Structure 1
Amino acid sequence: MAQQGAVAYCALLVFVIDGHALNTFFIFEIHPWSPMPVLKRLDQLLSNLGYCSRKEARYLLKDKRVTVAGEYAKSPAQKVDAATVLVDGEPLDFPEGILVMLNKPLGYVCSHDSGEGMRIYDLLPERWEFRNPKIVSVGRLDKDTTGLILVTDDTKLVHQLTSPKHHVDKLYQVTVNSPLQPDIIEAFAKGVVLGDGAEQCLPAKVEIISENVANVTLNEGKYHQVRRMFAACGYHVEALHRSQFGPYSLHEPGQDLGQGEWQVVDFPA
């Protein structure tokens, strides 16, 4: 994303009478500065944003579906500022990059492979899947887990939010098959040992909400971690829902997304 800066101007004024300097003044001003827009070939820009292939761009131009700065585009090769381009009268979809928060329904997979069943990408505009860089999920939720999943074309952000080094908090609501005992709070706080004892989780926070429901906050992303942690404590997870991932939440005011709904959100500061 482009960053704004500032330009400083300094001037020296000297008043001279009869060859003698009387007064000297410095004038110092700071003015906002914005970088020059990056110009790209029109066909490459349209292709990267999923509107068409580079070869197909000429047909959009021929049909007068593309304008640049209010004029019909003349050549697929012309260099353009993305902010000045319209397709079918609409601005381009997020040429600076995209970050989507989606409330994943039950039964959907976080895979691009249509052979695996219903995909989260089927819930988004079709052309977004043809963007370059490709949109991907930030981590994954399994088929039987619902809730917040982020989708982006920013690979650095994916690493920032999923790398174990960054310890990004994730909040889940868990429903289990039997009444929760208070000792699970201490077990999670100490770090649950998984499986045959060869792998220990980092400490996590459990808040018991009702007899069979708890909120769990953790900052790791091991395979099926929440289900395995509860299994290690003698419970079977019947429902799992993620409501928060780092600074993003499904249930902020004005941001209460229903199942299958999504919205574009700002990149983290």
Structure 2
Amino acid sequence: MKRLDALLSNLGYCSRSETKLFLKQNEVLIKNQRVFNPTSKANHCDVLVNNEALDSEKILILLNKPSGYICSHNDAGKLIYSLLPRRYQNRNPKISTIGRLDIDTTGAILLTDDGELNHKLTSPKKDVKKVYEVSLEKPLNGDEKELFASGKVLLNGEEKPLKPAILKEITPTLVHLEIVEGKYHQVKRMFAYTKNRVIKLHRLEFSGFRVDEMEEGAFKIIDDFNIKSYNL
């Protein structure tokens, strides 16, 4: 059991000092009994706020990132976290992105306050699948599919070749690229290696999670069932 002010503040509903006022302004129930004392103790599952269960103690969010947003807590400019409700922004521990997308890259990104899950999905050993839609400045040379699949591409500054990647040509200047690594600017550097330039980059999929039906800037909570079904 935890004190109510700790439960509510950790989940971002209010700060600990604001809990007393929050309890006056909102109907908070413990086992269906309304409470006004911030020091009351309760189990997470026994608390309702305005007739809704508390947010999960650990949260996983899928977001369709728009261009122009930064995957950081500290940089100047538009931060990706500003797309989330204030309550989520105030959680402790903080919600962080799982990996990053460049400011001009759009598409699927996961966010969580679960450090273990974040580590698991960013570990180079896990070979987490990522699929990108890539718009190119020039048409393909014709040998990129075999080159990327070979596992022999050595980018500048890297000590080891890239793991094999799968390229699917949509048009001569539009491709889908599946990779299992997350090196710095990897997709852009891969096409620079072939003397081409990426002019638009959109991540269609991250670890099985897709944003096909989601508007830019929209997000959804991934529930426990889906987490388990993706074997995370």
Report the CA distance shift for 1:56/1:172 in structure 2 as closer, same or farther (over 3 A): same
Aligned Cα RMSD in Å?
A: 1.6
Counterpart residue number, 1:101:
62
Counterpart residue number, 1:58:
20
CA offset at residue 68 of structure 1?
Answer: 1.7
The CA distance in 1 between the partners of 2:80 and 2:55, in whole Å, is 19
TM-score (norm 1): 0.79
- Are the equivalent residues in 1 in contact too, given 2:20–2:36 (CA < 8 A)? no
The CA distance in 2 between the partners of 1:119 and 1:175, in whole Å, is 25
Match for 1:266: what amino acid?
D
Counterpart residue number, 1:238:
199
Counterpart residue number, 2:222:
265
Match for 1:137: what amino acid?
T
CA offset at residue 69 of structure 1?
Answer: 2.1
What whole-Å deviation, never above 9, does each CA across 1:14-55 have from its counterpart, x for those lacking one? xxxxxxxxxxxxxxxxxxxxxxxxx21111000100111112
The CA distance in 2 between the partners of 1:76 and 1:218, in whole Å, is 49
What whole-Å deviation, never above 9, does each CA across 1:87-138 have from its counterpart, x for those lacking one? 23432222x311110000011111112x421121111101111111210001
Counterpart residue number, 1:201:
162
Larger RCO: 1 or 2 (CA < 8 Å, sep 6+): 2
The CA distance in 1 between the partners of 2:46 and 2:222, in whole Å, is 22
CA offset at residue 197 of structure 1?
Answer: 6.8
Greater alpha carbon shift after TM alignment, 64-73 vs 153-162: 64-73
Report the CA distance shift for 1:199/1:263 in structure 2 as closer, same or farther (over 3 A): same
The CA distance in 2 between the partners of 1:162 and 1:172, in whole Å, is 17
Match for 2:96: what amino acid?
V
What whole-Å deviation, never above 9, does each CA across 1:56-82 have from its counterpart, x for those lacking one? 212222445322222221421221122
- Are the equivalent residues in 2 in contact too, given 1:193–1:229 (CA < 8 A)? no
Q: Could you say which structure has the higher helix fraction?
A: 2
Counterpart residue number, 2:125:
165
Counterpart residue number, 1:69:
31
Match for 2:38: what amino acid?
P
Counterpart residue number, 2:3:
41
TM-score (norm 2): 0.91
Greater Cα radius of gyration, structure 1 or 2:
1
- What secondary structure does 2:16 align onto? coil
- Whether 1:177 and 2:134 are equivalent positions in the alignment is no
Structure 1 residue ranges (4+ consecutive) displaced by more than 6 angstroms after TM superposition = none
Counterpart residue number, 2:147:
187
Report the CA distance shift for 1:78/1:218 in structure 2 as closer, same or farther (over 3 A): same
Contiguous gaps of at least 5 residues in structure 2: none
